[in-house]
Structure 1
């Protein structure tokens, strides 16, 4: 079994167009959630989101590429370019054959679907562009990344709702750890902030109209976001041999199913996933200093997650810091775990714990240190990233300082 390092990271999200900007926003506790700028927003009950504002696709891609790239693919390619630039890797020969890409997304090319349903059903058009299917398919981003960077090894997409990115990164981790691949480009992306995407979520009645306030007694729902987070997972010895800057080490992963309810979370399922990830990492629970929570801001998720953490960590739960960065960038659905992994790396590398902003009033059922409103300087050696999806699908990653 091989050790697995992270040697590159990239992002675009509501907090910033790259990692440094995102880290600065997290340190400052800045909120990227605001009024949506989309077609027919006046017909929506929910009119806020963590939108990537001021984004001009023509500044990054020519007309031919825009015809092929949905917004979620564009975000992925921009984040991948950053991650691979930082890693310093180039792929050819045997390395290309043993390097791949596995990404998470839930909706895939939802903007493309929305635009073309509108054109056909509302506009009355009888023909659509011949590239619509390759533009909207969930694996489009992974396929374009593999083609752009000559990644000829295992490449695919995971779609497991809000756990998609963590599932994808867990698979990438296991592929490198087992020796199946030397390098995996991994993470996830989402671009659901279109009329149809938001209207569908409105139907669930779990959305907030004003803010995302995880763990606060005044919380009233989640807020959607968009963007991408992409990482380079690399065999540790391979990274060391080429003198790479190792950001941190991935040391554990677990996934399971609640097998209980399609939308309601389970304390038992979440606890089994957290405990399983620690067993896989072969680390005692007392080594964990920070958890980036799933923390959606819904009544059910937050209290269930806190109960699961308390069950797993016992007395050590009082020593843990746990925060939800969804309060700042929104819930990126299939891409959320990837952007949240950035906060985990910031904690390990920079000793800065991203806060849970919007926190107004303690909730007795969320009686943990949720790092309210203000970032905190703290030295931590081991961190955890939680993702708990609709369908009862749980995925937990453990990272360690190198």
Structure 2
């Protein structure tokens, strides 16, 4: 094997779609205003009390010029079409043209936790109500985790490696970390890295509810009359995650390619740390989370005190939020009190495999603008009184380096350090 080239890796563009907006610009504007994008589910019918979710507004792929009605009918796993859209817009944001020179040197790594469950539901309904011949021949491709990247390649023309890092709710960070390593080692010059998730079906909603992972909104909950208050990471009355759909893609590029093509570096991928828990399929393990954070900081060749902001995993569960804060205390010690820590999931919900990529894009934008996004819906928990959780309103704050945390079911952890250019 060839020795690694040890190239620096920059983020040159990004895009996202969330329940705050179907574009990154719309998402960012509402996020800065401290809004949350939750409502009672309209994608399907469910009797579950876990019926407050984050749906992408104004999502009409059939109106896009590069997607026709046949595509919409055949590719009925929405994560396929959403990947195509977000990848295209991310390339546009980067100003990167895919041609005979850049195409073969461009990879696409898009993670997803639940891979086309919406298409499977349609196929099963057709099977039961209309018979086996009505199962779409496109069902299996819709379920293949690499197909969203493949369809994006067919649209955009890149021919580098494509695959789907499967790290559950840490998939987006795994994609960024693997993509950065590939560029560092010289395997490619550009990577579209991130995650996309369209998981709002009755079975998935009910499955999360039955494992007591999602909030059940009853008459006595403050979200009953105001669904926007359902996700409340680190709040004293946090009661579970809010499922959300969404997608986020970062365009990574090698330093030499940035210079050669006149691209604009927006951040550097400085360090990656990844571990597994060997502990429990849903409950986090502080020891291995700490190790992932420490590895990311050591890989970045900086000190913990150099971190100016922590973009927390912050899912709004009692146990998960507490373990993450304890892990940060162990890594940073008393200086943690001077480091803002906030959770974007308070505004966009938990987008599972897409979460880390969306959150990285938001934090990079914030770093460029000198803004830290808030943890909204926050009622202080005395157990976290020593931590600056940026409650309820965005804040002006200059930071040049931040830590992005992502932890997933099965006990998988991936943390990344980004640095301003």
User: TM-score, normalised on structure 2?
Assistant: 0.92
What is the rounded CA distance, in whole Å, between the counterparts of 2:352 and 2:385 in structure 1? 22
What is the rounded CA distance, in whole Å, between the counterparts of 1:360 and 1:217 in structure 2? 6
| Residues 63-93 of structure 1: CA deviation (Å, up to 9, x unaligned) | 2211343211121111111110122222233
| Residues 341-382 of structure 1: CA deviation (Å, up to 9, x unaligned) | 122112211111010001013231464111000000010010
Paired residue for 2:273?
Answer: 254
Q: Kindly indicate whether the alpha-carbon contact (under 8 Å) linking 2:22 and 2:57 is maintained by their aligned counterparts in 1.
A: no
Q: Kindly indicate whether the alpha-carbon contact (under 8 Å) linking 1:12 and 1:78 is maintained by their aligned counterparts in 2.
A: no
Where in structure 1 do 4 or more consecutive aligned residues deviate above 4 Å?
none
Match 1:293 to one of 296, 302, 312 = 312
What is the rounded CA distance, in whole Å, between the counterparts of 1:270 and 1:397 in structure 2? 12
Match 1:220 to one of 227, 233, 239 = 239
- Check if 1:29 corresponds to 2:34: yes
SS of the aligned residue for 2:403 comes to strand
- Check if 1:142 corresponds to 2:146: no
Paired residue for 2:400?
Answer: 381
What is the rounded CA distance, in whole Å, between the counterparts of 1:29 and 1:297 in structure 2? 17
Paired residue for 1:65?
Answer: 71
- Check if 1:206 corresponds to 2:213: yes
What is the rounded CA distance, in whole Å, between the counterparts of 2:349 and 2:411 in structure 1? 21
1:158-197 map, 5 Å: 158-197=165-204
SS of the aligned residue for 2:333 comes to helix
Match 2:390 to one of 346, 351, 371 = 371
Q: Kindly indicate whether the alpha-carbon contact (under 8 Å) linking 2:273 and 2:414 is maintained by their aligned counterparts in 1.
A: yes
SS of the aligned residue for 1:93 comes to coil
| Residues 225-251 of structure 1: CA deviation (Å, up to 9, x unaligned) | 001001110002211222212111111
| Residues 175-211 of structure 1: CA deviation (Å, up to 9, x unaligned) | 1111111001111100001112212211211211240
What is the rounded CA distance, in whole Å, between the counterparts of 2:160 and 2:145 in structure 1? 19
**Please, what is the CA RMSD of the aligned residues?**
1.3
Q: Kindly indicate whether the alpha-carbon contact (under 8 Å) linking 1:346 and 1:353 is maintained by their aligned counterparts in 2.
A: no
Match 2:362 to one of 323, 326, 343 = 343
1:3-402 map, 5 Å: 3-41=8-46, 43-60=47-64, 61-69=67-75, 70-121=77-128, 123-127=129-133, 128-208=135-215, 209=217, 210=223, 211-365=230-384, 367-402=386-421
CA deviation after TM superposition for structure 1 residue 39, in Å: 2.5
- Structure 2 residues not aligned, in runs of 5+: 1-5, 218-222, 224-229
SS of the aligned residue for 1:399 comes to strand
CA deviation after TM superposition for structure 1 residue 38, in Å: 2.4
What is the rounded CA distance, in whole Å, between the counterparts of 2:74 and 2:130 in structure 1? 23
Q: Which moved more, 1:160-169 or 1:146-155?
A: 146-155
What is the rounded CA distance, in whole Å, between the counterparts of 2:119 and 2:261 in structure 1? 41
What is the rounded CA distance, in whole Å, between the counterparts of 2:122 and 2:203 in structure 1? 9
Q: Kindly indicate whether the alpha-carbon contact (under 8 Å) linking 2:21 and 2:57 is maintained by their aligned counterparts in 1.
A: no
Paired residue for 2:7?
Answer: 2
| Residues 20-50 of structure 1: CA deviation (Å, up to 9, x unaligned) | 2111111111110111102223x22211101
Change (3 A) 1:257 1:366: farther
